[in-house]
Amino acid sequence: MAERQHKLQAIMISVPFQGHINPFVNLALKLASKGCAITFVHLQHIHQKLSKAHNSDDLFSEARGSGLDIRYTTISDGLPLEFDRDLHAEEYWVHLFREFPAIVDDFVGTAIEADPYLVPFLVADTVYAWPAAVAEKYKLVNVSLWTEPALVFSLVYHEHLLKERGHIPCKDDQVQEINYVPGVESISTNDLMSYLSETDDILLETLSAAFKGVKKADFILHNIVHELESKTLSALNKYQLNYAIGPINFYKNLAANTISKSLVSESECAPWLASKPPGSVLYVSFGSIAQTSKHVIEEIAYGLLLSEVKFIWVVRAGIVSFDDDTNVLPEGFEDMIKDKGLIIPWCNQITVLSDPAVGGFLTHCGWNSTIESMWCGVPMICYPITYDQPTNRKLVVDNWKIGISLCDGKSVNRKEVAENIKSCMSGTCSKSLRQEAKKVKDILQNALEVDGSSDRNFDQFFNDLKAKIN
């Protein structure tokens, strides 16, 4: 009998949010396609949602069918399954920060002993605060996956500089230009991430702790292409090994379509889109977590009607408040729109954005949504709500010129919403947005071709990883 060969084993523990799960699953598939064994861990409540949405208990069974070595497992986050993590989001985040590390530590200790032929390394989300300590304790190579743009990474990485100059906390009434962060030409305090504006923001506290750890990571992977953030990435490379390997959600030949990532059942949009002319439909969605007010929803609803543009709108449960999910749309709205619009609770966003009928995206600028729109060459109307979204907006509108800001970033009103929608979908502004969006789409798509920048960076990372482990 042939002797069993040693094999690399990536231990991957995803952050329990849709915007992090998607790139994480795709990265797992990519590493598996390179011959790694993957131990992929979901938290139990995420597994429960996935199983319900997809009627399946084993998320990677089809990938294994195509020969990939993926061992899927679940762990508890230490809270009862009944605990409403959406309703108590902040409390939950604090729990993940303070209590979850001990659970992960135990899990990793057991996982690395399970199979003596596997040579383990850790792949963890940059926003977790535990990876550096766990990697150090078990002597594992530590790979950190950053799922947002390099600009956001760099600003948190250089938090000490922003604090020294009094830009954290940043005060709304004093708009200033920041031009001292290495690799960041200039950014207005208005465009900083929301969590930099408070003195004692828990998210900033946890990210600060996470970034202390990330400074000890062996490799940092970014979900962007080098060409689009080259200065920022080059500046970061002076400190540590950074690899731009995106857009991760579009890796090819990965059986990716067979993997259940969506936490909610998806409504079918293709039949409705089939009868619509190319570029005529606006897609509207604010991602999986962000919340807005009923007033904003109402102004957007009437703005859509006034614009007379056809639309698909994801009105997610919880978009306004987790207590009162129902009736967020104006009364009778669904009757008013007739065949002009399709309102759904969730969809396969990439499929919708890839449809030739879709010509614009009104988005909250979550990073996955942004990069998915860029991949499809779809111009954006940006309505950033929180976290990194204001900073992502800056990249889309000011740097890459592939989007416009909803109501110029001021309070949302239906008349301007309608005007913005019309400018994005037709006329001179639309033409210029589309031209730029096409250029960015080509950059992204070329990056994943054989010998494209992300393809090369991934190979470089993988070779460096193997060299470090052996």
Query: Which residues bind to ligand UDX, rule: CB under 6 A?
Result: 17-20, 22, 148, 262, 285, 287-290, 314, 346-350, 366-369, 372, 387-389
| Nearest of 375, 359, 366, 272 to residue 307 by alpha carbon | 359
* Edge-to-edge strand list for the sheet holding 358-363: 341-344, 310-314, 281-285, 358-363, 380-382, 403-405
| Nearest of 430, 288, 444 to residue 364 by alpha carbon | 288
Distance from C-alpha of 469 to C-alpha of 458, rounded to nearest angstrom: 16
C-beta closer to ligand UDX: residue 9 or 18? 18
C-beta closer to ligand UDX: residue 389 or 457? 389
Distance of closest approach, residue 360 Cβ to ligand UDX, in angstroms: 16
- What tokens appear for 219 in the block? 């490799």
Cα 151–chain centre separation: 14
Distance of closest approach, residue 40 Cβ to ligand UDX, in angstroms: 18
C-beta closer to ligand UDX: residue 291 or 446? 291
Distance from C-alpha of 388 to C-alpha of 178, rounded to nearest angstrom: 17
Distance of closest approach, residue 363 Cβ to ligand UDX, in angstroms: 7
C-beta closer to ligand UDX: residue 23 or 183? 23
C-beta closer to ligand UDX: residue 29 or 314? 314
Distance of closest approach, residue 461 Cβ to ligand UDX, in angstroms: 22
Distance of closest approach, residue 263 Cβ to ligand UDX, in angstroms: 9
Q: Which residues contact 339 (CB under 8 A, 6 or more apart)?
A: none
C-beta closer to ligand UDX: residue 103 or 385? 385
Q: Which residues contact 156 (CB under 8 A, 6 or more apart)?
A: 193, 207, 208, 211
Cα 363–chain centre separation: 13
C-beta closer to ligand UDX: residue 184 or 395? 395
| Nearest of 348, 441, 36 to residue 433 by alpha carbon | 441
Interstrand relation of 187-188 and 177-178 (parallel, antiparallel or unpaired): antiparallel
C-beta closer to ligand UDX: residue 10 or 269? 269
Tally of CA atoms within 13 A in the half-sphere of 402 that contains its CB: 27
Distance of closest approach, residue 157 Cβ to ligand UDX, in angstroms: 16
E strand map for 93-147: 118-125, 142-146
Distance of closest approach, residue 312 Cβ to ligand UDX, in angstroms: 9
Distance of closest approach, residue 127 Cβ to ligand UDX, in angstroms: 9
Residue nearest to ligand UDX (CB): 366
3-state secondary structure of 186: coil
